[in-house]
Chains A and B, each alone.
Chain A
Amino acid sequence: MTRNRKLPLLALIAGASLCAAPSLFAAERPSSPVAAYTAMSPEELADYLIFEMEGFDLHAPTQEGGTARDRLEQDRTQKVCSAIARSGAALDRPTAAKISALAEESIQLPEGDIALGDWKKGEQIARSGYGYRMGHRVDDHTGEPPGGNCYACHQLDPNETAHGTVGPSLAGYGRLRGTSDAMLKHTYQIIYNAHLFFPCTTMPRFGHNGTLTQEQIRDVMAYLLDPESPVNQETEQTAQAD
C-alpha cells in the first residue's frame, strides 16, 4: 500500500487541478474501494469521492448559470487557503503575498471616483442571507435578489443584537474611520476581495465571486460609511434586550 505524498504547496499554487485531469480510476471503478482508496493521498481521495464517485449532486444547475460541479471546483485561493487551514500552520509570508497578489489582480475598481450608494438598500443587502443556496431548497433570484449576509458574521447597527461574531464588529465603521477617498477605495477592495489585505480570510470575495454587483457594493459601502446610516449612530441605551 503506497501512499502518495501530500501535494507540495508549489503544485497547489501552480493550480494543478486534480479534478480537471482525467481520473486514474474512472474507467475501472473498483468493486472494493480498499485498494483504490488507500493508494490515494487524502486530498486525492477527497476529490475522487466528490467528483468521480459523485458524492454530490454534480449535475444540478446553479443560479450563476453553471452546474453544481463548477461550484465544487476550487480556484487557487480556495485550494491554497484550505490546505493551510488544515495543516494548522500559520500563513507564511511568500504564500500570503501570492494570495494578496491574486486578490489585487481580481479587483475591478469602478471607473472614476467611488461614490457611496444608498444606505437603505445597503442595509437590506447586509441583512439578507438569501441567494445561491441550492439542493433541497433552491434560491430563486428572480423572486428575491441575493444579499451579502454581512450580519451572519459582523455586528453593524449597534442596536441589532442578532449579529454574528466570526468577523470583527463594524459598528461605527464610518464614524470612526471617516469617508476619505482612500477609505472608500479601501472599503470597496475589502468587499470585493478581502484577501488583498487579509490573505486567506474567511470573508467571502463578494466582487470576485460575482455575488454582489458594483452597485450593490456601493450600497453596502453607504451602509458602512454614510453618516446617516444606523451603523454610525450611537447605541441606544434602551435597546439592551438580549
Chain B
Amino acid sequence: MRIKNAVRAAGIAAFLSMASHAAQVQPPEDVLGELIERNSSDYLTQSEQNIMMMPDNPALWTADEGEALFREERGPNNTSLETCDLGKGPGVVEGVYVELPRYFEDTGRVMDLESRLVYCMTSIQGFSPEDPEVKTRHGSDSDMMKLQTFIASRSSGLPWNPPMDHPLEKAMRDAGEVMFYRRAGTSDFSCATCHTNTSKRIRASVLPNINEPHEWTKAISWPAFRVGQQNVRSSTHRIRGCYWQMRQPQIIPGSDAAIALMSYWTDAARGQPAILPDKKR
C-alpha cells in the first residue's frame, strides 16, 4: 500500500508500469513463500510437508485439464468457453478470479466464479443445468473443478480486489459480513467463533483469522488440493464443510446467501496475493 501511494505521487505513467510489474501471475509456492517471509503466522506454516510439496501439487494437473476443457468446443452448441465473460471481457481469464464475486450487467446479479461458469456453460455452450458437466460440482475429475482450478490459477500472486463500485456488490458484502457473525443452531456457532482469533486451534488444526489478511488470503485460496481428501476442492465445498461443522443447515451453492458470504470473505483478504491453486490439510 505504501509503495502504491508513493508511486501515485510520482505520476500516473510510473504507477502504471509499477502496477503491471507488481501484478504478475506467480507460482503459488512462491506466493506462499513470500507471505511466510513477510509475516509470522502459525496458520501459514502449520504444515511443513504441504509447503514442501507445493510444486508437486496435483491441482496443477487439474488446472491443465481445465485449460483444455475451457478451449474445447463442447456442449449442444459445440462452442468453447472462450467467449465467456468472467468480468474482464469475453475470454479473459488472467486476473479475473481475484476480482470475483462481482456484479454482472447481463444477469443483474453479483456472481462468484462457480455461478458464472454455470451461466456460461448453459447460455453459451447450451448445457442444461442437469447435465453432469454442470451439475457435478465436487471432485478433481469434475469439469467444474477443472475449469475453476484453471481460471483461478491465472490469478495466482495477484492481490484480491473484488470490486465494490456497484451498490449491489457492497450490499452483498455487508450481508455476508452479517452472515459471518451470525450465531445460530444447536451449538450457537458463527463463522466468527472459530475465525476471529490468531493461532487458535480446533483440535489439531490451526485456524485462520479473518482479521489478518495475510492469513485470510490462504484461507480463501481455493481451489486447493486437500491432502486429507485427495481431491481438489472449491470455496463452495469449504463453506459446506464449515456449515456442517457448525450444525447449521446446508447452504445452497450459487444462492445469493452463499455469494454474499464469499463477497465478504474475499473483501477481507483485499490486497493480499492469492495462492492458486493451493494445497491444504
Which A residues lie at the B interface, using CB under 8 A? Answer: 1, 31-34, 37-38, 40, 42-43, 45-46, 49-50, 53-58, 60, 64, 68-69, 71-74, 77-79, 81-83, 85-86, 131-137, 151-153, 161-166, 202, 204-205, 209-211
Contact = CB atoms under 8 A, between A and B. Distances in A.
B266 to A, nearest CB: 16
A71 B185 contact: yes
Given A56-B248, A165-B201, 7 more contacts: A1-B167, A33-B108, A46-B176, A85-B190, A132-B187, A136-B244, A151-B203
Contacts of A136: 240, 244, 250
Contacts of A72: 184-185, 248-249
Interface of B: 108-109, 167-168, 171-172, 174-190, 192-194, 196-197, 199-204, 207, 240, 243-245, 247-252, 255-258, 260
A104 B243 CA distance: 29
B168 A38 contact: yes
B184 A162 contact: no
B202 A55 contact: no
B228 to A, nearest CB: 14
A53 B240 CA distance: 18
A95 to B, nearest CB: 15
Nearest to B258: A55
Nearest to B107: A32
Given A1-B167, A57-B250, A136-B240, A82 B181 contact: yes
B203 A71 contact: no
19 contacts: A38-B167, A38-B171, A42-B174, A42-B175, A46-B176, A49-B179, A49-B255, A50-B257, A54-B252, A54-B255, A55-B257, A55-B258, A56-B250, A60-B250, A71-B249, A79-B183, A136-B244, A209-B186, A211-B187
B138 to A, nearest CB: 9
Contacts of B171: 37-38, 40, 42, 45
Contacts of B200: 164-166
Given A165-B200, A209-B187, A211-B187, A86 B244 contact: no
A166 B193 contact: yes
